[in-house]
Structure 1
Amino acid sequence: MTLTTKDRLVRAAAELLLEGGRDALSTRAVSAAAGVQAPTLYRTFGDKDGLLDAVATYGFQSYLCEKHHLGETEDPVDDLRRGWDLHVEFGLSQPAFYMLMYGEPRVREARQEADAMLRRIVERIAEAGRLRVPVERAAQLVHATGMGVILSLIASPPEERDADLITAAREHVIATITAESLEAASDIPSRAIALKAALEKDPGDALTPAEHAMLAEWLDRVAR
């Protein structure tokens, strides 16, 4: 199969990233490795940020594909566990791409898709009535904890990594944001979170958009 200019540039950049890390991704080095002139790179991606987005997406494709293939079960909390394990596995097996993904604030596209998938799992926990904190905060806690674990382990020599840290951190954050059962999450904040999640999923037409916004604000206050 004949590669397009864009494919050649992305693959060249990916190889440089794996060999030399983020610092190896200069426009001159990428252009030379792909056998094109620097202006071609800018015409293809617009700017270097566009290139970084494309490289991150290229490196993240297998992860996102596996994430989609995980599917959904009847237990969204267990789905969160499986998603966490997959995320950590990717970060430790592909550290160069992971560092680009989460260490480069200008990378957007692929990370947004991954963040949306995490949020959907958290929303399903809320819809099941088992979320203890608001959806946005819960998603941020899971993301921050997972990223912290991965970056900490990446920074350590493989022989010094504490594999138990992965499970301990996962269970700690899950215990923080969820209840073990629907009955255990019968307090008022959890009910407010579940009601807001249900309304966001199916707002109906009983309330106007302004009334929906006001109700969502009230529910957020109760949840906090």
Structure 2
Amino acid sequence: MSTRARILEVAAGLVARSPDGDISTRAVCEAAQVGAPALYRHFGDKEGLLSAVVDHGFDQYLATKRQREPGPDPVEDLRDGWDGHVDFALRNPNLYRLMNSPAMRTPPASALESHTILTRVLERAAVQGRLRMAPEPAAQMIMSANVGVALMLVSRPTTFTDSATSARVRDAVHAAVLVPNATAASPDTGEAGGSDEAGVATAAARLNALLRRSPRSPLSPAETGLLSEWLDRLSTTRTG
């Protein structure tokens, strides 16, 4: 094992075992049996070391997501993704708090990858006409709620004691971004049980997702970009 890998492994272990999730560079150097110059050479400073620990944590979190093949039902994949996220947080509370700490000034690239994976699942739902809005704002809503619930569960376990809280918030957020019962909207009546405006948003999100998947288009790049902008506006602007 390289010196960098050993320092990183030791630091991750100390974060996991720390009562408050904080560590000192001195403790890391002692546990890894290296001098401070070696740590600073590989990571720059304590923030650089913690950033590397966060990257390592995101890699652990994304390992199963990268390997998993998309299922036939994107809505079920959304539910599994939410539950897996919360499960990871509960199994790695200190690491999870660090991964989502506002003190980390530079978001790791893996955080963007996590958001991208979620957006792709939502794009599949949009193609099936099961999304109320464009995939990107839907991803922002789901991710912020998922992280918020997970942080509350790991940071305030004596307050958030109901094991069903996560599922209730999940279902409420999914209800806000998905067509009721996650069924495709009718072209005549719009969204099942909803307004005409909601049906327009669902149809716009679906058409936009289909256009992005289409390998060929009779439209020019400029026309495609303009149409995509209009559809995105229709799928994200609330008219009612």
Q: Aligning the two structures, in what range does the TM-score lie when normalised by the shorter sequence?
A: 0.7 to 0.9
Change (3 A) 1:38 1:202: farther
Q: Cα distance, 1:47 vs. partner?
A: 5.1
Q: Deviations over 1:87-135 (max 9, x none)?
A: 0111111111111111234241222222221111111111211110121
Percent sequence identity over matched residues? 40
For residues 176 and 82 of structure 1, the distance between their equivalents in structure 2, rounded to whole angstroms, comes to 17
Indicate yes or no: 2:223 matched with 1:211. yes
Indicate if the aligned counterparts of 2:128 and 2:184 stay in contact, CA closer than 8 A.
Answer: yes
* Residues paired across the two proteins, number: 221
Distance change (3 Å), C-alpha of 1:172 and 1:159 = closer
Which structure: greater helix fraction? 1
**Letter in structure 2 aligned against 1:193:** A
Deviates more, 1:120-129 or 1:148-157: 148-157
Q: Which residue of 1 aligns with 2:185?
A: 183
Q: CA RMSD in A?
A: 2.3
Shifted more, 27-36 versus 191-200: the winner is: 27-36
Q: Secondary structure at the match of 1:23?
A: coil
Gaps of 5+ in 1: none
Name the amino acid aligned to 1:135: P
- Please name the residue that 1:174 is paired with: 174
Q: Secondary structure at the match of 2:228?
A: helix
User: TM-score scaled by structure 2?
Assistant: 0.82
Which position in structure 2 is the counterpart of 1:57? 55
SS of match in other structure, 1:77? helix
TM-score by length of 1: 0.87
Match of residue 124 from structure 1: 124
The farther-off stretch of 210-219 and 58-67 is 58-67
The answer for unaligned runs of 5 or more in structure 2 is 192-198
Cα contact 1:130–1:190 (8 A) shared by 2: yes
SS at match of 1:71: coil
Change (3 A) 1:210 1:31: farther
Amino acid at match of 1:169: V
1:106-121 to structure 2, matched below 5 A, reads 106-121=106-121
